[in-house]
Structure 1
Amino acid sequence: MAHQIEYIHDDIKRSCFEDQFFKADVLFEDHLLVWIISGETRIVQADQTYVFGAGDTLLFPRYLLATVLNYPKHGLSHKSVAMHLKLERLKDYYNKNEPQSQGEPIPPPSFRTFEQHPLLKSCLSSLIPYFELKEKLPGAIASLKIEEAIHILRTIEPSIDHMLANFAEPGKIDIANFMEKNYMFNMPMEKFGYLTGRSLTTFKRDFKKTFQTTPQKWLTQKRLKLAHYQIREKKRKPSEVYLETGFENLSHFGYAFKKFFGYAPTEGFR
């Protein structure tokens, strides 16, 4: 079994990765609350990598681009429990509970880490026995557990309402600034367009006007230059950087690197 996902409810799941690692460039349509049971998780955002382990709790905001890498650790597979905080549920919640941060400036979305906070740990670990059920968790119980998680998040970090009570869709933003920060994420062009507030056609038109080249050519060159910097300046191995710089396959990365720079990435490492 390399990868298994179990749902006890449409909004609550448990994941298990037994391979050497699992990598995905993610863009969630819902906020996602994740508790790591075992293994290690690395999150790559722009030029920074964060590492988390067993017992840590993370909150991913919707429409945030990130690369997630899950690894086994200490002989244990990577396991986690995740809870989707969907918009309709949050809208219903905030109809009954006044946001605590109304009128304040809204900061840019970013993932949150709550490490091993006892309240969140207790809430999410209490879901584990429900995965032994032969039927799905009753909706009323699932709703209580999700509402409990929302209450805890707001207790730990009152300013979290900036994220959870913000129901706006992405608006049109500066394409150059966005792409310079997010080029290493391997996403469909439609997603890049959506996140910058554009249709695919408008995105390609504005991109060509801004960068004087096509999105795919620009993305490949930016990713290769980032990998080159990591290998030559940071002395990292090609096998350590190709996933973090937007490539899916090591051999394809090596071919593209050599074609662009004139030598193999392993030569740059030595």
Structure 2
Amino acid sequence: MAEKQQNKFARMVWTVTEENFFKDEIILEFHSFVRIISGEMRVVQAERSYTFGAGDTLLFPRNQLSAVIKRPKDGQPYKAIVLGLTTDRLKEFYTANKIESTHRVEYSTKKFDRHPLLDGFFASLNSFFDLEDELPEDIASLKIQEAISILRALDKSVDGLLTDFSQPGKINLADFMEKHYMFNMPMEKFGYLTGRSLSTFHRDFKKVFYTSPQKWLTKKRLELAYYQLSEKKRKPVDVYLEAGFENMSHFSFAFKKQFGYAPTSLT
């Protein structure tokens, strides 16, 4: 996957994926405003999944665990423009404009319908990537303000999300792991999202589940894959990534070790 960053201050990135698919588990440290130019992106979260295509515009909340699968579609590679809305920038905007939100915080991915404001905004961003020099900081700052203003014009409820500057606190470990076990990421990240250091995460995990995180995660992911194959009649190649495995060979080996036969025998 290739990326070109236009402005480090604005967190403005143009991303291209030429591979047949690219998968990553992400936890964004800031909200991301995204326009997909071509290709397809599937986002798998704990309680639902989304599929986005060319022309779609979305807002990803920060600190939300997601598996993101990017693929070419209709002969075109995955391309997108990503604008990061950092906490510092948001505080600056809402303080300067004396805006206080009364909306409930909704940490879910928002998809926006096509709109001239969105089309014009991302067209202007796209033109900046032809610059040989970095976009000047004062212009980048104006584009961030413009992005926030457009989001608020289209959906005032985004204020609740954009003005929530809290960090993850210590939460119920069992509930979190039961919802997020299919995400393949370092234990440090699981610890962070549950409000724990790595050592505390391991200690608390052993108390709750009576086994190590890795053994428990592998078992849960295989059970999910088995259900998808046997009940939903999906193919192994369509299951292993969403179940949390890095590649097909690792999945096939672990599946056969657990159940005694290859995953392909269920299809």
Residues in 2 aligned to 1:96 and 1:206: alpha-carbon distance in whole angstroms: 43
Residues in 1 aligned to 2:75 and 2:147: alpha-carbon distance in whole angstroms: 30
Residues in 2 aligned to 1:253 and 1:47: alpha-carbon distance in whole angstroms: 23
Pairing of 1:87-236 with structure 2 (within 5 A) = 87-102=87-102, 105-107=104-106, 109-236=107-234
Indicate if the aligned counterparts of 2:94 and 2:100 stay in contact, CA closer than 8 A. Answer: no
Residues in 1 aligned to 2:27 and 2:115: alpha-carbon distance in whole angstroms: 25
Secondary structure, aligned partner of 1:187: coil
Indicate if the aligned counterparts of 1:16 and 1:80 stay in contact, CA closer than 8 A. Answer: yes
**1:74 aligned partner, one-letter code:** D
Q: Cα deviation per residue 1:57-85 (whole Å; 9 max; x = unaligned)?
A: 11111110001111111111111000011
Indicate if the aligned counterparts of 1:99 and 1:165 stay in contact, CA closer than 8 A. Answer: no
Secondary structure, aligned partner of 1:67: strand
The TM-score, its normalising length taken from structure 2, stands at 0.96
**1:34 aligned partner, one-letter code:** V
Residues in 2 aligned to 1:99 and 1:260: alpha-carbon distance in whole angstroms: 55
Q: Quick one: structure 1 residues 106 and 49, their matched pair in 2 at CA, closer, same or farther if it must change by over 3 Å? A: closer
Indicate if the aligned counterparts of 2:81 and 2:122 stay in contact, CA closer than 8 A. Answer: yes
Residues in 1 aligned to 2:73 and 2:234: alpha-carbon distance in whole angstroms: 21
Indicate if the aligned counterparts of 1:154 and 1:160 stay in contact, CA closer than 8 A. Answer: yes
Q: Cα deviation per residue 1:111-146 (whole Å; 9 max; x = unaligned)?
A: 111142332222112111111111111111111111
Is residue 55 of structure 1 aligned with residue 45 of structure 2? no
How well do the aligned residues superpose, as a CA RMSD in angstroms?
1.3
Give the Å deviation of 1:184: 0.6
Secondary structure, aligned partner of 2:74: coil
Q: Quick one: structure 1 residues 105 and 54, their matched pair in 2 at CA, closer, same or farther if it must change by over 3 Å? A: closer
The equivalent of 1:263 in structure 2 is 261
The unaligned stretches of length 5 or more in structure 1 are none
Q: Quick one: structure 1 residues 136 and 216, their matched pair in 2 at CA, closer, same or farther if it must change by over 3 Å? A: same
Deviating more after overlay: 116-125 vs 4-13: 116-125
Indicate if the aligned counterparts of 1:5 and 1:13 stay in contact, CA closer than 8 A. Answer: yes
Pairing of 1:34-73 with structure 2 (within 5 A) = 34-46=34-46, 48-73=48-73
Q: Quick one: structure 1 residues 118 and 177, their matched pair in 2 at CA, closer, same or farther if it must change by over 3 Å? A: farther
Q: Tell me the number of residue pairs that the alignment of Structure 1 and Structure 2 aligns.
A: 265
Q: Cα deviation per residue 1:85-127 (whole Å; 9 max; x = unaligned)?
A: 111111111111234533x5534x2211114233222211211
Q: Quick one: structure 1 residues 112 and 245, their matched pair in 2 at CA, closer, same or farther if it must change by over 3 Å? A: same
Q: Quick one: structure 1 residues 117 and 178, their matched pair in 2 at CA, closer, same or farther if it must change by over 3 Å? A: farther
Indicate if the aligned counterparts of 2:101 and 2:163 stay in contact, CA closer than 8 A. Answer: no
Pairing of 1:237-252 with structure 2 (within 5 A) = 237-252=235-250
Pairing of 1:12-51 with structure 2 (within 5 A) = 12-46=12-46, 48-51=48-51
Give the Å deviation of 1:47: 5.2
Residues in 1 aligned to 2:208 and 2:98: alpha-carbon distance in whole angstroms: 42
Secondary structure, aligned partner of 1:132: coil
Residues in 2 aligned to 1:144 and 1:124: alpha-carbon distance in whole angstroms: 14
